[in-house]
Amino acid sequence: GWAKTLEQEGVQVVYGVKGLKTHAKLCIVVRREPHGIQRYMHFGTGNYNEATARLYGDISYMTCNDDFGADASSFFNAITGYSQPQQFRKIEAAPLGLRDKILEMIEVETQRKQQGQKAHIAAKLNSLVDPAIIDALYAASQAGVTVKLNIRGICCLRPGVPGLSDNISVISIVDRFLEHARILYFYHGGDERLYISSADWMSRNLDRRVELLTPVEDTACRRKLIGILDTYFRDNTRARRLLPDGGYEMLMPKKNQPPFRSQEALYQQACEAVRQARQSQRTTFQPHRADGQES
């Protein structure tokens, strides 16, 4: 396979961490540039797999921020055995502090709501099973926090149960592409916090896998993630709503409401972005004049 081929070409290949499945998605490119060594990082929710890349819907975040670079290097040093896991500056990793970070962010929203402030949580995941996180979301709902969840697969939380989860709503979207991205949003007193993650909220991911939770701090990227979440929650053709009894009902356009298919909308946005990028890269001709002037 590819691993053996890479080893034959001199590449150091590490086959995961003993006792844990490595499920994090991270790539570092290190370049020697005029100003010195520069690291470029790619954090993702999807596998580096050319087959699933055509079938899955995922999120990528690229940055050359020094703090992310230090974290990425520390992470690789840890999983390759060159050092023990270090305290990260930006990211969180499972099975180290990822669950604790999620619980902390949910608790912050709960406390803010109890103090009379606005509080809101939104998340897009494949599965929600972890008991501690479910209990924290129930507590947030009982405090009055609005919680909107997009859980494509297994969801052990029951939304809309009086006195327990009145303020929680859950949808599931199944369409042309397999929904695979994990996106987290916390209002955080107006200083909105957004994350992407390789991990679902399941005990297997948080306790028995190597996973990453990555904050997205770039303003434009944060706006894009919020737009993606909003697009999914507007779906009224491929979305199903989870009911308090564990059943699902299809969402349909309301009277005088046009049908809206989230994957189609995001697909068209992506196509338009590619079209504009190609248009901006078109070759132009700049003639030289006899008098040395350029037009």
**Residues designated catalytic:** 23
d(CA 279, CA 289): 27
Rounded to an integer, what distance in angstroms lies between the CA atom of residue 170 and that of residue 149? Answer: 5
Q: How far apart are CA 173 and CA 241, in angstroms?
A: 9
Structure tokens given for 88: 């990260």
CA distance 74 to 196: 19
> Given the structure tokens 């697009």, which residue do they identify?
231
Can you list the positions of beta strands (E) in the chain? Answer: 21-22, 26-33, 36-44, 56-57, 60-63, 92-94, 120-125, 146-151, 168-173, 178-179, 183-186, 193-197, 209-215, 239-242, 248-250
Cα–Cα distance measured from residue 117 to residue 187, given in angstroms and rounded to the nearest whole number: 10
Q: Which residues fall within 8 angstroms of residue 213, CB to CB, at 6 or more apart?
A: 91, 92, 93, 94, 98, 101, 102, 184, 195, 196, 197, 199
Of 174, 171, 173, 179, nearest in space to 243 by CA: 171
